[in-house]
Structure formats: C-alpha cells, structure tokens
Chain A
Amino acid sequence: MGLDFSVIPKYLDIVLLGALWTIAITLGAAIVSFFGGILLAVIALYAHPVVRWPFRVFSFLFLGTPLLLQLFLIYFGLVQIGIDVPAFVAGVIGLGLHFAVYNSELFQASILAVDKGQIEAARTLGLSRMQALRKVVVPQAVRDVIPPIGNNMIALLKDSALVSVIGVSELTLSAQRAIGSTYRPFEFYVLVAAIYYIINLGMEAVLRRVERRIQASK
C-alpha cells in the first residue's frame, strides 16, 4: 500500500497538542536539570563528606542505569510506597534529575576552571565561601558552560520521547495514538520527526541568542 499523507490534517490537533506537552516537559526538565546540576556540582566539590557521599551514590545510580528504568521506578514504583506522582511530574523529575547528573559534571569542571583569584577577591571582601560561590564563581562558571549544557538540553528534548511509556500524551505517544486509528505509521512518524526537528531548531536559536548575550558581557 502506498503513502497517504491526507490522513494527517484530521489528527493534526492531537499531534500538535502532543508537541506542546513535549515542549512543556522539556522546559520543566531543563529547569530541574540546570539548577539541580549546579546544586549537585557545588555539593560534589564543596560539601562535607557526610553530605557528599549520598549524593555521589545518587549520581552514580542515575548515570549507571537506563533512563527508561528510572521513569518506571518513579512512576510505577513510588506508588507502592505511597508516593503517587502524576505522570507529567514523574516525567519532569525523572528526565530532570537524569540530566542534572550530566550537567553537574560540566558545572564541576567549569567551576574548577574559574580563576582562583576570583574566590580570593570575594573572600577578602568578607564574603563567606557560599556567598562567593553564589555571587562570583557560579555565575562565571555557568556563563562558560552554556554551549555544552545546550547540547545536553537538546539530548533532553529527544529523550523526552521516553516519557510516552508512562502515559504522558507527548509528541511520540500522540503519534502512536494517531497511528492506532489510521494504521499509517510512516506518515505520522515522519510528521513527528519533523516537529521534533523544528522544536530543536527553536532551541538552538534561543541558545545562540543566550550565547551572544554572554559574549557581549565578556
């Protein structure tokens, strides 16, 4: 049987709604992964070992196990111990924490790369170590690490498709639903691929703007 793209318009609203969910999940998870990444990096570098070690184990678990499994655990597993997380929230937390661990590695390197004189200058003014990190070191570290963090965020967008398995009606799942009633997998998967690509282009455009603004202040 040949291709027939004429079925698309009828299901376009479902697919576009799915695209909005994908954007919402990506945005939510990006925010969690950004601030979570900074927090994890600061803990890894500066916290007392008593605090540092549990987080290290946590990071190791998130890095060493499949994201899919983590989503299952958060959505299906936590219910059993009385924590009922809505699918969307489970998706944002799962994706967000997973990428927070990746971002943390980047933040750690860039925090260490900030000139030692910066923290010295802040400390001689009387700032505590935490204040110096917050106001002087981390802002510079973040600035330097935006391009690779951006790459992680694009990976995050693509991995957000996994959230379909816990029943969030995002782009991939909405395509599957459309396919379920039309038996037109090729048409809808191509459509969805195009939409992912467009969102991707949008993210890259935003990133480039951010990078330009950072460059201007350097």
Chain B
Amino acid sequence: MSAQKPFIDIRHAKKSFGTLEVLKDINLQVDRGQIVAIIGPSGSGKSTLLRAINDLDPLTGGEIWLEDKQINMDLPHRQYERHINEVRQEIGMVFQHFNLFPHLKVRENVTLAPKMLKGLSDAEANALAEEQLTKVGMIERIDYYPSQLSGGQKQRVAIARALAMKPKVMLFDEATSALDPELVEEVNLVMKQLAEEHMTMIIVTHEMGFAESVCDRVLFMDQGVVVEEGPPEVIFRNPKSERTQNFLRKHLAGQQA
C-alpha cells in the first residue's frame, strides 16, 4: 500500500430520493489499473453508485475524485456543465441496454464524440473507429446500423464507442444482463482483454464467475451500504457477513434453477 492518492476516491457518498436513502455513506478507493466488481441484490444502490461517478445520478452528499480532480464539484451551473463534460470524456460508460445511436451506423456511433469533442478530422476519426472496432472484433460490421446487430455485437460496439474517447476509467453497468446467455461470452472476452491492458474498471455485475476471474476486488452492497469487500476469493469462497452468504446462496440457487 502506497501513500499515493487513489486513482478514484469516493468519500462519504450519500444519495437520497426524497426520504429514501439509496446510498448511505459509501467509501471506495480504486487504484490505477484496478478492477473492482460491485455485486448485490437489485435496489442495493450499486448502479446508483456507478452512475454517480460520472454524475448521471448526482450525489446528495460526499465527494468523488478522479486523480486530482473532484468530479462533483460545487460550481455555478454553467461552469459545472463545462467541467462535467470534460470529466466525462475521461470516464467511459457501458450500459445494460447498450444505448447505441440507432440513426447512426456503427462507424458514426464511434466517431461522433471524438469528432465533436476532440476535433478529429474525418480521416483521423475513421482510423480511430477502425482501430477500436478491430479491437472488439466488430470491424466487419462497421457500415451496419445497430438494428442489424445482435445484442452481444451491439455491446461490443458500445464498448468501442466508449474506448474511442480514450477514457482513464471504464464503468460497466450490468453490461451483460440484457444479453442472451450464448452472447455473454463475447462481451466478457472484450472486457477481459481490457483487463489485461490494465484499464481501470468498475463493474456492476450479476456474473459472479466473471467477477471472480477478472476482478482484483469485490464489493458486496445491500440497502445502500457496502456490507463487505475484499479479494474475490474471499468474498465468493469465504464471505464473513451473513448477508453476503445469503445473497450468494440465493444467487447460486437462481442460476441453477
């Protein structure tokens, strides 16, 4: 453990909708290149926490830092918008339902943001799209529309779209939950590849097997708190908390059923 500042630092994160507290004082530190999985039952706040990191669901209390920059800074509206747009360029996000832009071809899905925000020329943007799509194995479909792709292919394009902004962190919000079982593996492979390249990743997932094989650390969340965290072999094989044990038992039973 170094005394260096963590790459991502979430301090006392709180979030409530009215009287409902979804996040109750969450602390999470992630080092550069670390891969953290967040597991837990639905409604535990895991997606909310992930979405708070790039301010899609702003916190009602606490701080989130990326390197030496505070993400949820207190700024006047206009300045805050400029700030958050810059921050978001450094944070890639992948959604459960892909959210590809259906009116744009695969190529344009990937080139849109780099062209608009980084001023890339058509040629540069195309080269970038080809590079990223090759990486996720989707180069052959570069001139297809999203509606012509399978779920797994869509998700791989969505990953390429996020990677094209050269983010420092990738957030995955149940990236494989909406996929048919036979399509999960192709997306997992891409994520594993990113892990091998030491991309910093925070992964909200229901795939315990995948989390165990890829992640450095696992957080178990329930009812807005981190109940337990540790290396995957401990969380999955030897959880201390009864709530973690129950969740994993139920989850396993659900998978076998």
Residues of A within 8 A of B (CB): 115, 117-118, 120-129, 131, 135-136, 139-140, 143, 217-218
Least CB distance, A111 to chain B, in whole angstroms: 14
> Mind listing 29 A-B residue pairs with CB under 8 Å?
A115-B99, A117-B99, A118-B101, A120-B95, A121-B100, A121-B101, A121-B158, A122-B101, A122-B113, A123-B56, A124-B88, A124-B91, A124-B92, A125-B88, A125-B89, A125-B112, A125-B161, A125-B162, A126-B86, A126-B89, A126-B113, A127-B117, A128-B81, A128-B85, A135-B112, A136-B101, A139-B103, A140-B102, A140-B103
Least CB distance, B170 to chain A, in whole angstroms: 11
A-B contacts counted at CB < 8 A amount to 64
B3: interface (CB < 8 Å): no
B193: interface (CB < 8 Å): no
Which residues from B are CB-within-8-Å of A129?
A: 81
- 6 A-B pairs with least C-beta separation: A126-B89, A121-B99, A125-B113, A117-B99, A124-B93, A126-B88
Least CB distance, B197 to chain A, in whole angstroms: 20
Least CB distance, B115 to chain A, in whole angstroms: 10
Assembly CA distance A127 to B99 (angstroms): 15
Q: In chain A, what residue has the closest Cβ to B161?
A: A125
Which residues from A are CB-within-8-Å of B75?
A: none
Contact of A217 among B54, B92, B113, B145 (CB under 8 A): B145
Also in contact, A131 and B97, with CB within 8 A (given A124-B54, A126-B85, A139-B103): no
CB within 8 Å of A: which of B144-183?
145, 147, 158, 161-162, 165
Which residues from A are CB-within-8-Å of B162?
A: 124-125
Least CB distance, A215 to chain B, in whole angstroms: 11
Least CB distance, B63 to chain A, in whole angstroms: 20
Which residues from A are CB-within-8-Å of B253?
A: none
With a 10 A CB-CB cut-off, give which of B85, B145, B161 has the most chain A CB atoms: B85
A127-B116 in contact (CB<8A): yes
Also in contact, A218 and B99, with CB within 8 A (given A124-B93, A125-B161, A126-B88): no
Assembly CA distance A98 to B105 (angstroms): 35
Which residues from A are CB-within-8-Å of B88?
A: 123-126
A218-B147 in contact (CB<8A): yes
Least CB distance, B111 to chain A, in whole angstroms: 11
Least CB distance, B148 to chain A, in whole angstroms: 10
Assembly CA distance A62 to B243 (angstroms): 62
Q: In chain B, what residue has the closest Cβ to A143?
A: B103
Q: In chain B, what residue has the closest Cβ to A128?
A: B85
Assembly CA distance A117 to B95 (angstroms): 8
Q: In chain B, what residue has the closest Cβ to A136?
A: B101
B95-A126 in contact (CB<8A): no
Also in contact, A117 and B116, with CB within 8 A (given A123-B56, A128-B85, A217-B103): no
Also in contact, A135 and B116, with CB within 8 A (given A117-B99, A125-B161, A140-B103): yes
Q: In chain A, what residue has the closest Cβ to B164?
A: A125
Extra pairs beyond A120-B95, A125-B162 (16, CB < 8 Å): A117-B99, A118-B99, A121-B93, A123-B56, A123-B85, A124-B88, A125-B112, A125-B165, A126-B89, A126-B117, A126-B165, A127-B116, A129-B81, A131-B116, A136-B101, A140-B102
Which residues from A are CB-within-8-Å of B147?
A: 218
With a 10 A CB-CB cut-off, give which of B81, B88, B102 has the most chain A CB atoms: B102
Which residues from B are CB-within-8-Å of A135?
A: 112, 116
A117-B97 in contact (CB<8A): yes
Assembly CA distance A82 to B81 (angstroms): 42
Assembly CA distance A122 to B86 (angstroms): 13
Assembly CA distance A51 to B161 (angstroms): 35
Assembly CA distance A114 to B162 (angstroms): 21
Assembly CA distance A140 to B99 (angstroms): 13
Assembly CA distance A126 to B88 (angstroms): 5
Least CB distance, A144 to chain B, in whole angstroms: 10
